[in-house]
């Protein structure tokens, strides 16, 4: 029996995939600021609020950020602000 050939499509329309080096993870979250990024999808803020509450209860420092819309990449100013104010960022995704 012959297997059917699979074709994978890249929805980003990139001609070639970007290669990025994975940044080292911190050994501990203690003493650093954790950014929580809401991408503006339904109920993402609910999830991040609860996650932030749990982190704060553990004594961690948390900052909240929000994209203006889930349909586009975040503005460069938001990326810059997160990079200046947070050492780690958790992004709430959907779908």
Report yes or no on 44 lying in a domain: yes
Report yes or no on 62 lying in a domain: yes
Domain count, the chain: 1
Report yes or no on 16 lying in a domain: no
State the residue range of the domain holding 73: 33-92
Report yes or no on 15 lying in a domain: no
Report yes or no on 67 lying in a domain: yes
**Local confidence band at 75 (pLDDT 50, 70, 90 cut-offs):** very high
pTM: 0.75
User: Quick one: residue 6, left, alpha or beta (phi over 0 = left, psi -120 to 50 = alpha)?
Assistant: beta
Report yes or no on 2 lying in a domain: no
Q: Is 17 exposed, middle or buried (0-12, 13-18, 19+ CB in 10 A)?
A: exposed
Query: 9-52, pLDDT tens digit by residue?
Result: 666 666 766 677 888 889 999 999 999 999 998 888 899 999 99
């Amino acid at each position: 029996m012959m297997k059917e050939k699979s074709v994978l499509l890249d929805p980003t329309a990139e001609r070639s995939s970007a290669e990025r080096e994975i940044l080292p993870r911190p050994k501990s979250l203690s003493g650093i600021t954790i950014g929580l990024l809401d991408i503006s999808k339904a109920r993402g803020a609910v999830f991040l609020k609860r996650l932030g509450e749990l982190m704060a209860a553990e004594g961690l420092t948390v900052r909240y950020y929000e994209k203006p819309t889930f349909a586009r990449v975040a503005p460069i100013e938001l990326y810059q602000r997160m990079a200046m104010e947070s050492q780690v960022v958790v992004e709430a995704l959907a779908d």
